[in-house]
Structure 1
Amino acid sequence: MTFSDKYIQAPQRLLGDGLINSAHRYPTKTAIIVKNTTYTYGQLNTDAMKLAHALIERGIEPGDRVAIYMENSWACAVSIFGASLAGAVFLVVNPQTKANKLQYILNDSGAKALIANIKLQRELQEACLDVMELNNVIVVGANSKIILNDSILIENFNDVLELVGRHDKIKLPQIIPNDLASLIYTSGSTGFPKGVMMTHQSMVFTIWSLIEYLRIDNDDRIMLVLPLAFDYGLYQLLMSVASGATLIMEPSFIFLGNIYKQVEENKATIFPGVPTTYAMMVASFRNKPFSLESIKKVTNTAASLPPDYIPILRKIFPNALIFKMYGLTECKRVSYLEPELLDEKVRSVGKAIPGTETFIMTIDGKKAKPNESGILYVRGPHIMVGYWNQEERSKKMLVPGELPWERVLCTHDLFKMDEEGFLYFLGRSDDIIKTRGEKVSPLEIENVLLKLKGVKESAVVGIPDEIQGQIIKAFISVDKGIHLTEKEVRKFCNAHLESFMVPEKIVFLDELPKSSNRKVDKKILMEND
């Protein structure tokens, strides 16, 4: 066996190893397709190595933070791996992020370098007026100089790569699996996001656990319509590269027709989405039936996939296995349901992902009995090490386990587990509505509303009320050409819900507001009069 053979078979310990290994195995194979342009694993490895060298030359040391602020693109993929190979901690910021939040993230993370798209120049200029640690900005698509502030060096992305010599002569820094790999910023109750700290070890473990149960191999072609700033989108890139698959990358999910065309032309085999993604596809199908026959696997997370979507999704994806999943950024993924059990366990989100464990504790701190509700806890190498700069919040999520040295993740989400160990999501504990002395799960009402013909999306919130504690308010969007009245909605709810669960207020919207991660934004709905 040659040295090269041994190297190819080396295990993945760091995020960058996944790219290096795949580039050695499949140097000429297509790694990424963006806007009908194909890029090979050899190209991805070369450009990422060049960027890593450039960052090191500009003073980036192991553990330094590098922010990436752009849409899904080739440059974004190169930046993620380039920063990681340089030993930096990368953070991907959603391109929809406005200047005040961008500035907060840059200062909170202490980012020393920022790689951004020139299209976001206005937000960049405003955000960089008052940043503490940032001293290097590399701009993608810039043909001329832009000015941020006097202390920041501005360079062009392509120029930076061209200035670097042979990438095989680059000496990478020594880092180990325990080192931080990424900060993943997620919504916070204060209005500003919090940075979830993930090590190389936890992310690599998660990648291969996901690859195992999703049955991904190097023949797969993943259709990515989710932002890389969203951990669900990020892991599509990481899984694809680690397994030697191909990633078809789209910057957005706005133009459905274009997405369907991309799936068919590139023969995509895996389609990851969130419930809002599938709500749009279901509405599109109802208006004009279609099918995407090349897709072999459909995956869902972020929120529970409504059971009534399943029959239509099977028509849209006639040859696909449908994976229902549940997760949260603090451990990426908690559970999955084997697609063969979808009909038998239609309301379940399955069991713990390979190599991990889940259990449920009642409010009084006892292990929950089968079908008894309680808070879900997660054990495994995939959980975060904490929130960046937020020790007290970290302690609320990471609590002592049974082993003396162990910390387990408290999801603060309500679940129950049946006799066979399958999990059932009951709702976010902080979403539970307390009305008329009863506890009500918004999810239960939302699922009922989605059964009403013509309802495309639904969201339920609790509004403070002096007498009842909270009253239930439902927001609904309907399919094109459908007309529903409050009376019809309330009549349907009365037939399918207990009286205290029937919404007192019903609001029709053309579209429900979405967060940057494509989830329904209930904070905005709470402000709706």
Structure 2
Amino acid sequence: MRIEQYLRQSAVRDGAKTAIVAGDLRLSYDRFLDLSARMATTLRASGVSRGDRVLILLDNGWQAAVAVLATWLAGAVICPVNPSTKAPRLSQIAADCTPAFVITEARLERLVAGVAELADTPRLATGEAGSFEAGLHAAPLPAQDLPDSDLAALIYTSGSTGVPKGVMLAHDNMDAAARSIAFYLENTAADTLLVVLPMSFGYGLNQLVTAMLTGATLVIEKSFAFPQAVFEKIRDERVTGFALVPAMAAMMMQARDLDPSLFASLRYITSAAAPLPPAHFDWLRAFLPHVRVFCMYGQTECTRIAYLPPGEIDARRSSVGIAIPGVRTEVVDEAGVAVPPGTVGELVVTGANVMRGYWRNEAATRKALRPDPRTGAMRLHTGDLFTADADGYLTFVSRTDDIIKSRGEKVAPKAVEDVLHRMPGIAEALVVGVPHDVLGQAVKALVVASDTALTERDVMRFCAQNLEDHMVPKIVEFRQSLPRTDSGKASRRLAAEPAPITGSIA
């Protein structure tokens, strides 16, 4: 099914129900559909045709939700970009996707106008509710009968080189992912979902899609910059589903006098984008014993791959879970052949949720989408190293590109991070390999300390007690915060130092 049909069907079921809560504004499903359909008419009147790309450069808010649905109602393709994106990257994305229209914040008009690839592109700048509506066409665009195979989204992601790649997701890809996720989370129209993650990325966007699919209410928060305000919104709107990333869990752990009654309405918490450290999970479960915590793993290229049923967490502490419904996973060797249980290999994914490929990047597409050597079926090669047990439960080892090779030994950064997260006094940690003229690469730990008395020697001593010698960090650097991507994920690429480290080894 096409994603905009979710909105139409939810409006038919209960048009008066609240679809969107954003600040003091509440939109019913009827109102949300009307605004989206009128913006769709505006897009068409501005020359946007089926299959054209619409670049959406907006903060989280009801305008962003309307822009997304309007683009789909117009038969066009969303290209959501985080509004914190700087001009050089925005220029790269614009040159690649060649948008027919731009929807942006009024405050970002100067940025957009300064990007040569966008200077002559028609655009609409959002503002307050009244001025926003004034820019929309008076008549809503009638429903269209368009195929599910049409492209729905280009979501740009950066690989190890930092060059943006546009992940092509069709409506049927997004539909398959949304239905599978909603199934295991048991989402219904009775849910109220919170999105505080950027809707310019897959994890945040999926909260909007899930709400429209199930007829739930979506509470949109601009960011997690003021956690207490977000927590109060959870209480006031009686939120039942809260999607977070590990950094947000770490902030909750460090908050003083956090009142668990703020979260009384929650039914579940999900964690994705990066592995949730066991210490973070244990804290969440102890602090909110009534809440089911779903640890999940996915990629932009297919939205979601695996989830760990909450009842299995104690028995499978290090696992990211099993394949989501409708998806098949395997761990394979370099020839693409499945390896025995417990053997490290690359994770491959088969399912209707897998992307069409990378926009205008045939080389990257051929590398990521390859046929199964036995059946010929196309599979997504994730570039992630995993093991799988006999029951299909997956354990993340490392990104292929992140493996540290130090003095001939291989070090998986996550294995070191798991130990660091168990150390009292450490709130967050990120491990990278940095060039070294003796070791080849040295293991470096970036640490955010909750205990200001913690020293480099303390960290190294703790690691030496819990890790093999070649895995112990040779460098420990204390930071106020970890380097992050726009989606809030800790970034090894941003953390890596280009200059070689020289000298003797402790």
| Fold match (TM-score > 0.5) | yes
Shift of 1:210: 0.6
Q: CA–CA distance in 2 between the matches of 1:482 and 1:265?
A: 35
| Corresponding position of 1:416 | 387
RMSD over aligned CA atoms reads: 1.8
| Corresponding position of 1:526 | 496
Q: How does 1:50-89 map to 2 (within 5 A)?
A: 50-89=38-77
Please tell me the residue identity of whatever aligns with 1:131. L
Q: CA–CA distance in 1 between the matches of 2:337 and 2:69?
A: 44
Q: CA–CA distance in 2 between the matches of 1:78 and 1:344?
A: 43
1:290 to 255, 259, 267: 259
| Corresponding position of 1:40 | 28
Shift of 1:485: 0.4
Superposed CA offset, 1:226-247 (max 9, x none): 0001110000000011100011
| Corresponding position of 1:139 | 125
Please tell me the residue identity of whatever aligns with 1:346. R
Consecutive unaligned residues of structure 2, counting only runs of 5 or more, are 500-506
| Corresponding position of 2:504 | none
C-alpha contact 2:160 2:493 (8 A) present in aligned 1? no
Q: CA–CA distance in 2 between the matches of 1:475 and 1:189?
A: 19
Q: CA–CA distance in 1 between the matches of 2:498 and 2:243?
A: 31
1:228 to 195, 199, 208: 199
Q: CA–CA distance in 2 between the matches of 1:40 and 1:264?
A: 21
| Corresponding position of 1:125 | 113
Aligned-partner SS, 1:443: helix
C-alpha contact 2:336 2:372 (8 A) present in aligned 1? no
Shift of 1:142: 7.9
| Corresponding position of 2:428 | 457
Q: CA–CA distance in 2 between the matches of 1:220 and 1:328?
A: 25
Aligned-partner SS, 2:265: coil
C-alpha contact 1:222 1:236 (8 A) present in aligned 2? yes
TM-score, normalization: structure 2? Answer: 0.95
Q: CA–CA distance in 1 between the matches of 2:42 and 2:288?
A: 44
Superposed CA offset, 1:134-190 (max 9, x none): 5310010189xxxxxxxxxxxx642232x322x2xx334442011101101111333
Shift of 1:365: 4.1
C-alpha contact 2:336 2:373 (8 A) present in aligned 1? no
1:112 to 68, 85, 100: 100
| Corresponding position of 1:397 | 368
C-alpha contact 1:445 1:501 (8 A) present in aligned 2? yes
- Count of residues paired in the alignment: 497
| Corresponding position of 1:469 | 440
| Corresponding position of 2:476 | 506
C-alpha contact 1:86 1:172 (8 A) present in aligned 2? no
C-alpha contact 1:475 1:508 (8 A) present in aligned 2? yes
| Corresponding position of 2:502 | none
| Corresponding position of 2:276 | 305
Shift of 1:56: 1.2
Pick closer, same or farther for the CA change 1:365–1:180 going to 2, 3 Å.
closer
Q: How does 1:236-275 map to 2 (within 5 A)?
A: 236-275=207-246
Q: CA–CA distance in 1 between the matches of 2:375 and 2:343?
A: 27
Aligned-partner SS, 2:441: strand
C-alpha contact 1:90 1:183 (8 A) present in aligned 2? yes
Q: CA–CA distance in 2 between the matches of 1:365 and 1:89?
A: 33
Aligned-partner SS, 1:260: helix
C-alpha contact 1:321 1:339 (8 A) present in aligned 2? yes
C-alpha contact 1:331 1:382 (8 A) present in aligned 2? yes
TM-score, normalization: structure 1? Answer: 0.91
1:209 to 150, 166, 180: 180
C-alpha contact 2:6 2:212 (8 A) present in aligned 1? yes
2:401 to 430, 436, 443: 430
Pick closer, same or farther for the CA change 1:184–1:212 going to 2, 3 Å.
same
C-alpha contact 1:222 1:246 (8 A) present in aligned 2? yes
C-alpha contact 2:94 2:117 (8 A) present in aligned 1? no
Pick closer, same or farther for the CA change 1:44–1:294 going to 2, 3 Å.
same
Shift of 1:57: 1.6
C-alpha contact 1:22 1:41 (8 A) present in aligned 2? yes
| Corresponding position of 1:158 | 133
Q: CA–CA distance in 2 between the matches of 1:255 and 1:281?
A: 11
Pick closer, same or farther for the CA change 1:473–1:356 going to 2, 3 Å.
same
